[in-house]
Chain A
Amino acid sequence: MAARKANKVVTLAEAASLVRDGDVVALQGMGTQMSPLALVRELIRAGKRDLTIMMIVGGIGLDWLIAAGCVRRVIAIIVNLDEFGMAHAFRRAVEAGEVVMEEYSEHQLLSRLLAAAYGLPFLVTRSGLGTDLLAIHPETMRVIVCPFTGQKVVACRALEPDVAILHAHRADAYGNVQFFPKPIWLDADVFPRAAKKVLVTVEEIVENEEIRRTPIHTGIPYFKVDAVVEVPYGAHPCSLYPLYSFDRALFQEYASASRTVEGTRAFLEKYIYGPTSHHDYLQRVGGAGTLLRIRKWE
């Protein structure tokens, strides 16, 4: 499907339907930055189950998905709300044995993804030698000996996500996805290459001619993209540099609310299950006043 040069513009609900229960989902997001959170809210409303969520740095979207009961397993190097502290739903679920955490160091996880991106069975790293991370993952990491030098290295087994979901600045209808600046974080760079399916939400869908004027900004070519959705402020409450900042007020509200199960449920009700549309969501988080504030990076 991806390879077709065809119109791939769909609605949020249609994009969500391309994620199946039990999928390994590569979810973009780096701390308080660049995460397809409008699509995450749609996955929650669609009642997805038994997902494995893979993020490099797990954040607020992952915590919502866990709180909503969508997640069975997490693959990440760290999970928190950056400067806003612990991801409480994650912590509670792992401590209760409801969610399995598969923890890697960053270069171990990158090696697993790059192996998949190249179609290789594994890649090697030195990261994690001497740590307990190796012992907990015998199915995906083994210490092996270099056949040339005898050096000990860690073999990291390929990890091919079923679907990658991302948010970017703009795309055309075919799925040529552009970033301003070009992808910096690993997720936007590597997830689309490692995953079977790629779904992208963007601030704006533009004409194909517009893409051809600025090909240096294209980070993912149409032949790797399956669906495109236009969602202005689709990363909110995360930032999309340089267009808008993360929403400090909403992060703070969630960090406080999520200290209890009841508070978390009330937050999800108010901001995820309650809104009738993305527009309605933006109204509930403060409407024009909030959007102006985050555009000014305040």
Chain B
Amino acid sequence: MGEDARDYTIDELMVVTLARQFRNEDIVLNGTVSFIPVAAILLARATHAPGLTWIAGAVGVDAQPEPLIGNTLDPTMWKRCVMYLPQEHMWSYVHRGVLETFCIRGAQIDKYGNVNNTVIGDYARPKVRLPGSAGMGDMGSLDKRIFIWTTAHTPRTFVERVDFRSCAGYLEGGDSRERLGLKNGPQLVITNLCVMDFEPQSKHMRLKSVHPGVTVEEVQARTGFPLIVPKDIPKTELPTVEEIRLLREVIDPHGMRRREFRSTSGRE
């Protein structure tokens, strides 16, 4: 893996952690305002997963846009692609399961990995109207392995129960997702404080590692429900010197990944 980096920032730690989840055989597409996943996909492709296929902005098949300059659906992302994928083809691949992995974020995430990006409060007369479900309304129901990321680990984001289920996670927990005929589901949650997964039986969110400098108590205090906390919680693995160099010099020298820390989770 190479030498650990001593000089890294939280956005870089998140990108590297997400990048390490992608497999060489994965076919991945990205959605809107998704700089962290896009940087992670490109980093994975440049390191352990050279065979990974990325469909840039759901259009540019196997694109090569380094360095990143535009927004994550922009035509500048499609640079040097082998095909502009018609969107009806894209949806057939998504529906049928040719594409298996998707990354999402949202304003609220609950203990079973259900995600809300629709409304806070009542649907018809919301306290806060959020941007909307977009692709997460599809991907949660279409058997994807879902990676959730958020740059705002707060009790407002991590809630006992989402106000509106825009994305189907593990629903009511246990086997409720499976009983509805939905396969896979949320795999990991990567935040600015820690990494979490889901306990296999209850499907309840569980602490997996804390980022350097963060305590278990701090994570629990900033989570709006009791997490499952195993006895020994390791530190999140550090980025390597080479991963940080690739990110800063080749993939994202303009620091587009940091834009996600400006307007977090779709709220102001």
Contact = CB atoms under 8 A, between A and B. Distances in A.
A127 B137 contact: yes
**Interface pairs A-B: 6 shortest CB-CB:** A105-B137, A130-B168, A78-B132, A78-B134, A241-B75, A127-B138
Nearest to A242: B75
A189 B165 contact: no
B123 interface: yes
Contact of A128 (B73, B86, B87, B141): B141
A297 B76 CA distance: 9
B123 A125 contact: no
Interface residues of B, number: 52
B171 A133 contact: no
Interface stretch (B174-182, B192-200, B236-244): B174-182
A33 interface: yes
Interface residues of A, number: 55
Interface of B: 32-33, 59, 71-76, 84-88, 91, 94-95, 117-118, 123-129, 131-138, 140-142, 164-168, 171, 177, 180-182, 259, 263, 266-268
A97 interface: yes
A103 interface: yes
Nearest to A30: B73
Given A104-B137, A189-B86, A131 B263 contact: no
B165 A130 contact: yes
A80 B33 CA distance: 10
Contact of B118 (A31, A83, A103, A127): A103
B142 A126 contact: yes
A175 to B, nearest CB: 22
A101 interface: yes
A106 B137 contact: yes
Given A76-B132, A132-B123, A107 B91 contact: yes
